[in-house]
Amino acid sequence: MARPNLPLGQGTRVFSGARTMFIFNGEVVGYASGVSGSKEIQYEPVDTLDHLEVREHVPVGFRVTLAAQIFKTVAIGSGNDNDAPGSLEQQQIFPKFNDIFRVQGVEAIIQDDPQAGSGGNILAQYENVKTASYNFNIAARSIVGQNVAFVTTMMKDQSEL
């Protein structure tokens, strides 16, 4: 089978982290170093008397996960500088304590960089995203990263958009 030619300006069909953008609530997270997610269908086995094996598995739940690894940055001046965006609270990724009950779910997108020649294809779009937790670790001679966990209700991939 002959290999089809790639469109002009597109060197590969493989999605690469080097050209991936993580967009949270309409803003590109410029210091994200990784993002991961999953869709999970929860099944329960149907066990019956007089049968050793499971009769069938019944879907009983649907879960979506989203997590990101973001470098810790320190704000310079007012904290409105895109080159040094500051804490997750300053970036409005993690809510401040007094805002927890007012947090509305937002959209998060994992997208191919439009400048990479692909037109900015969306790999995954998450709905009703809320930041649930983050943690960090500081060690000698290391870059400080933050692991951020989100709750979300739906993830749509390219086939659903």
pLDDT at residue 31, rounded to an integer: 84
pLDDT higher than threshold 80 for residue 116: no
The CATH number given to 20-45+54-160 is 2.30.110
pLDDT at residue 17, rounded to an integer: 80
3-state secondary structure the chain: CCCCCCCCCCCCCCCCHHHEEEEECCEECCCEEEEEEEEEEEEEEECCCCCCCCCEEEEEEEEEEEEEEEECCCCCCCCCCCCCCCCCCCCCCCCCHHHHHHCCCEEEEEEECHHHCCCCCEEEEEEEEEEEEEEECCCCCCCCEEEEEEEECEEEEHHHC
38 close to 102: Cβ distance less than 8 angstroms: no
pLDDT at residue 19, rounded to an integer: 78
Percent of the chain with pLDDT over 70: 83
Q: Within 10 A of 148 (CB to CB), how many other CB atoms are there?
A: 23
- Tell me the whole-structure pTM to 2 decimals: 0.78
pLDDT at residue 90, rounded to an integer: 82
- pLDDT tens, position by position, 34-51: 999 999 999 999 999 999
- The rounded distance, in Å, linking the Cα atoms of 155 and 42 is 16
104 close to 117: Cβ distance less than 8 angstroms: no
**pLDDT band with cut points at 50, 70 and 90 for residue 80:** low
**pLDDT band with cut points at 50, 70 and 90 for residue 85:** confident
pLDDT higher than threshold 80 for residue 57: yes
R_g of the chain computed on alpha carbons:
20
- pLDDT tens, position by position, 60-78: 999 999 999 998 888 776 5
64 close to 125: Cβ distance less than 8 angstroms: no
pLDDT at residue 21, rounded to an integer: 87
What is the token pair recorded at 80?
């409105």
Q: Within 10 A of 76 (CB to CB), how many other CB atoms are there?
A: 12
